[in-house]
Amino acid sequence: MDSSNKNLVLRILLTISLVLVSEAAHESRGIPSEEEKKEMERQLKAINKPAIKSFKTEQVEIFDCIDIHKQLAFDHHLLRNHSVKLKPTSVPKWPITYDNKGQKVGPMQLQLKGISCPHGTVIVKRTTIQDLINSQHLKSIGFNIPRHVLSQGSNIDLSGHHFATADYDYDNVAGVTGNINLWDPQVSHDQVSLATMAIAGGPKIEQLASISVGWMVNPLLYQDHIHLYTYWTADGYNKTGCYDIRCPGFVQVSKRIPLGVLLQPISVYNGTQKEMDLSLHQVVTSRVSGVNVGYWPQSLFIASGLVKGADLASWGGQVYSPKTEKSPIMGSGHFPKEGFGKAAFVNNIHIMNGKGEALIPQIYTIETHESSPNCYKAKFVHDEDEPWIRAVYFGGPGGC
């Protein structure tokens, strides 16, 4: 497989996070049997660790303060002897090289109101039976795509999947950063709209590793509105990986910011723009608004390409809709040509090389990709274009 085809496959596989529902799944979604309920209850006992303190939000979601050393991550067979690293061994200094016209959402705004976890604990969202039911649908639909890719080659069925991104298609990416503009697009129950920043790599498709972080509107995963999300896999979405902390793997270290948290405030069209700074560095660490939220230990990716560096970095938007529905809006719902204050963006784009150096990517290394340009577009902004050195505008009204 040549490099261009490989990068196409990597981009397609990054859209796996959108393979959430289909007509068949929609029709088969039903009430679990008594035997299935008992199995789910057994799973819940394993997933939801004993809480030292618990809190219920206005959205009727329960968050638990869990002993940092007894969290779900350590149920993973590769992490049973893992020692928690509260801080990364080194943090790259990401240079700020742009005129920041938007307002950053800070750590205090991401904290859940009235929730304070004690020292030595981390905050996690409690999993429910409904979460497990939804997860079963996601896995049954989305995790077979790599085999489809391998068998069909370039004839990949992208029905219902749409993306508009700026991609860095060069080897040796050890980290990325970006400030993602916050919007809250309206979607139906079985649609998805998200803004993401991702890295991916691997010597073979079945060993593809990827990590994504950003915001998502997805009623199947989250009740409503815009939520912070992560996704990872170490084997081409075959057996490993999940969203947030719905499976062992991600080691939470923050007692303030949980994965899956509702994000607010959001941007206003032709008004104040809100953005959240995100970074993935040293392959495994996730920082949100300057706070080290947690990390994916390198042992999870021991057989994959991410330990030695990624092949692709990507910033932009993605949506999904069943074939029976018109596709939802992406970002603000407006095309990039409308510019700042009206179109969604990711600014302050940087990459980290294998030496741990944070760099502004050269202009020729970034390309935009639009799967459905009539409905969604991406525009790479650089140097002479105000107001940033490196950024991407993305989005559109949908309707495909």
Task: Tell me the pLDDT tens digit for each residue of 111-158.
Answer: 677 778 999 999 999 988 888 877 666 555 443 343 323 333 434 455
For residue 309, pLDDT over 80 is answered with: no
Q: Is 141 exposed, middle or buried (0-12, 13-18, 19+ CB in 10 A)?
A: middle
- Arithmetic mean of pLDDT, 232-260: 86
pLDDT reported for residue 328: 94
The residues with which 197 forms a beta bridge, in sequence order, are 213, 315
Q: How far is CA 292 from the centre of its chain?
A: 16
DSSP code at position 361: P
Helix (H, G, I), strand (E, B) or coil at 18: helix
pLDDT for 26 equals 42
Residue 349 CA to its chain's centroid (Å): 16
Q: Are strands 390-395 and 209-217 parallel, antiparallel or unpaired?
A: unpaired
pLDDT tens digits along 324-358: 889 999 999 999 999 999 999 999 899 888 777 78
Q: What single string gives the DSSP state of each residue in 324-358?
A: TS----BTTSS-GGG-TTTSEEEEEEEEE-TTS-E
Bridge pairing between strands 103-104 and 274-281: parallel
What average pLDDT does the chain have? 80
* pLDDT surpassing 90 at residue 384: no
Handedness of CA 64, 65, 68, 70 (dihedral sign): negative
Q: Indicate the angle between helix axes 145-152 and 3-14, nearest 10 degrees.
A: 150
- Please name which of 59, 89, 76 lies closest in space to residue 241, comparing C-alpha atoms: 76
Q: What is the pTM of this model?
A: 0.85
Q: Does an H or E element contain 136, and which?
A: helix 129-142
DSSP, residue by residue, 63-100: EEEEEGGGSGGGGSTTSTTPPP-SS-S--------S--
Span of 12-21, 64-73, 193-202, 383-392 with lowest mean pLDDT? 12-21
- Tell me the C-alpha distance between 54 and 124, whole Å: 10
Show me where the domains of the chain are located: 3-85+92-395
Q: Which residues contact 92 (CB under 8 A, 6 or more apart)?
A: 175, 281, 352, 356, 357, 358
Handedness of CA 156, 160, 164, 170 (dihedral sign): negative
At a CB cut-off of 8 Å and minimum separation 6, what does 172 contact?
Answer: 309, 353, 354
Of 268, 260, 265, the C-alpha closest to 276 is 265
Say how far apart CA 55 and CA 38 lie, in whole Å: 26
DSSP string, 210-229: EEEEEEEE-TTTSSSS-EEE
Helix (H/G/I), strand (E/B), else coil: 164: strand
Amino acid 111: pLDDT: 67
Rounded CA separation 352/350 (Å): 7
Q: Which amino acid is at 59?
A: Q
- Does the pLDDT value for residue 2 go beyond 80? no
What does the pLDDT look like over 47-59, one tens digit per residue?
999 999 999 888 7
Task: Kindly report, residue by residue over 68-114, the tens digit of the pLDDT.
Answer: 999 999 999 999 889 888 776 666 666 655 556 767 776 666 667 77
> How high is the pLDDT of residue 129?
84
CB 29 within 8 A of CB 137: yes
pLDDT band at 30 (very low <50, low <70, confident <90, very high): low
Q: Is the pLDDT of residue 45 over 50?
A: yes
Per-residue pLDDT at 275: 92
